[in-house]
Structures are given as C-alpha cells and as structure tokens.
Structure 1
Amino acid sequence: MATGATIHTFDIHLADVDRGVYEELSLRVARHPSETVPFMVTRILAYCLEYAEGIAFGAGGISSTDEPAVLVRDLTGSITAWIEVGAPDAQRLHHGSKIADRAAVYTHRDPEKLLAAWQGKTIHRADAIVLRAFDRRFVDAVAAEIGRRNDLTVSVTEGQLYLELDGATFDTQIDERTAG
C-alpha cells in the first residue's frame, strides 16, 4: 500500500521588516512521501518570504509540472509570481518567467551549482529572476526540529533570517543573486 502525504501544521508569526510584511499565518502543509523535510522547510520559508495576497502552494506540490511549489495569483486568477523551490531546471524557469510577472527560486542547495547548470541555457528574463539560497546546515538544523504541529516565528531584517521553532532558535544570512 502506498504511503500518503504527511500533514504538518504551522502557526507562523511573520515579521519581514525588509518588505514591511507582518502577518499571523496558519498553514497545513502536506509533505509528499518523496519530499524531504529540508525541501519542505525551504518551501515554507519561500512561502513566508514571498507572502502576499493571493499566495498559495502549487496544486500539484513537488510532482506538478504545471505549477511551481509556490505561486501568487491576482484577483483574475492570473499567476503574478512563479516561485520554484530546490533545483529547478532552466526549462522550468524559462516557462515560469514567461507566465508570471515575476519569478524567484529558493534553495537549500549550492547556489553556484545551480547557476552553473543554468549557464548558457535560454531563460526568459534571467537577469530578473531572484535566487535566494539558505545555508544547508541551517535548513538541516531546522528540519531536525520539525514536528507534526509547529509554532514558528520568522523574522527578516537586512537580509538576515531569524527563526524560532517551538523554542529552538536559528539564524542565517540569505544569499541573494540573480539567475542571469
């Protein structure tokens, strides 16, 4: 019998000083059996750091080819932000950048390897695609503390990410670059 998705709940206190976004969020996040906990952590951080009216996790999750891990839709249903997580290939970025006004990638992988993989490939508006990388040790440490129910505080100021998860504290610098 196939294993179903594991549901995690997150009560999130978001204070993104850099963007002036302050929100209280309650998320139910389905983690597909093939999704690693570090990938899920990166997906949740992408959701928080991109938070805007109309944000949602992609309908197909990590197995979808039609939608990214996170997206933002306007009131007409048009995708305004295409947000990939992990190590998407150049073709997905090209596709997402053509569909949405804005595209971004959040990763817990080595950003140099991602940029090298995209080098010389056709990516629509590559110089406008933001790549944000989190230190792998930071993501792994947070992933080790994830439970089924989580109380999470996410604070961002001057490119520094501070996180408190059920009493444990973590921080890292967000490595930001462009894909082009």
Structure 2
Amino acid sequence: MAVGATMYTFAVQLADVDRGVYEDLSVRVARHPSETDAFMLTRVMAYCLEYEEGIAFSEGVSATDEPAVLVRDLTGALVAWIEVGAPDAARLHTGSVQAERTRVYTHRDPAKVAAPWAGKRIHRSDEILLHSFDPGFVDAVTAVLERRNTMTVSITERRIYLDLNATSFETDVHTQPAA
C-alpha cells in the first residue's frame, strides 16, 4: 500500500512591506513522502514571498508539467512559474517560455544550484532570479515545524522576520540572476 501525502496547515499573517502586501492566509500544504521538510518549507516561503491574487501550489512532485508554485491571472494565463529546490535547465526553459516571470527559491547552496545551468539553453535566462536564504535558516525553522502551524512573516528590505509556532527567526533573501 502506498503512503499518502501528509497535510500541513499554516495560519499565516503576511506583512510584505517591500511590496505593500498585507494578508491573513490559511495555507494547506500536502507533503509528499519523498519530499523533505526543508523543501516543503521552502515552498511555503516562496508562496509567501510571491503572494498575489491567483497564486497556488501545483500538484507537487507528481506534476511534472507545472512548477511547485504558480500564479495565474483571471483569464487563467500563467503569470509566474516558481520553482523550488534545484530544478534542471529544461524546467527553467519551459517555465520561462510559458510564464511572464520565472523564479527559483532554494534551501541549498545557490552556487551549486545554478552551476548545472551554465551553458544550457534557457529562454530569457537573464530575467530568471534565484532566491536563497542565510545558511542554516531553513534547517532551523524546520526543527519547530508541526502539522498545524501559526506563522507570522514580515518582510522589509528583503529581510524576513519569521515567527513560527512562537519561535523567532531572521534571514536575508539573497537574490542573484540565474544566468
């Protein structure tokens, strides 16, 4: 018998001062058995950092033709292709062709994530941004992760102030071009 996904819930108070986004969100995330807590948490952080009307999680690791997080406009057109982890160049190429903007959020060393993309054909690679966090941030946060979570995310000048289940964390969001 196959093991199913584990559901996590996040009651999020989001205050993104940089973009003027202030929302109370109820986020449900299905963590596939092959997915790590760090990957799932990075998906949630990407969702918060990219939050806008039309944002959604894809079907996850089983959705090979969609990114981890995507944004569609009111017509259903794909606006943002948001990858998590260490996607290959072909996925970035596909995302950049299909969406207005393509982003990658990683919990890994960004230099190691970007290295395999060098010299590969990626549509509009100069417009793709790779975002990462301070070393150890994601691992520290996953240590207090529960199935039901209360989370406050404040972002100002690309610095995240995160309170997860009454434990506080801080990190900068490091951004570099993919190309």
Q: Is TM > 0.5 for Structure 1 vs Structure 2?
A: yes
Q: How many Å apart are 1:135 and its aligned residue?
A: 2.6
Q: Which residue of structure 1 lines up, in the alignment, with residue 174 of structure 2? A: 175
State the one-letter code of the partner of 1:26. S
TM-score by length of 2: 0.98
RMSD: 0.8
Q: How many Å apart are 1:4 and its aligned residue?
A: 0.7
Q: Secondary structure at the match of 2:18?
A: coil
Number of aligned positions between the proteins: 179
Q: How many Å apart are 1:3 and its aligned residue?
A: 1.1
Q: How many Å apart are 1:99 and its aligned residue?
A: 0.1
Q: Which residue of structure 2 lines up, in the alignment, with residue 32 of structure 1? A: 32
TM-score by length of 1: 0.97
User: Which runs of 5 or more residues in structure 1 are unaligned?
Assistant: none
Task: Give matches, 1:10-159, under 5 Å.
Answer: 10-58=10-58, 60-159=59-158
Q: What are the Cα deviations for residues 137-172 of structure 1, in whole angstroms up to 9, with x where unaligned?
A: 110011111101100001111111110011100011
State how far apart, in whole Å, the 2-side matches of 1:143 and 1:63 are.
23
User: Which runs of 5 or more residues in structure 2 are unaligned?
Assistant: none
Q: Which residue of structure 2 lines up, in the alignment, with residue 9 of structure 1? A: 9
State the one-letter code of the partner of 1:152. M
Percent identity reads 64
Deviating 4+ runs (over 4 angstroms): none
Q: Secondary structure at the match of 2:130?
A: strand
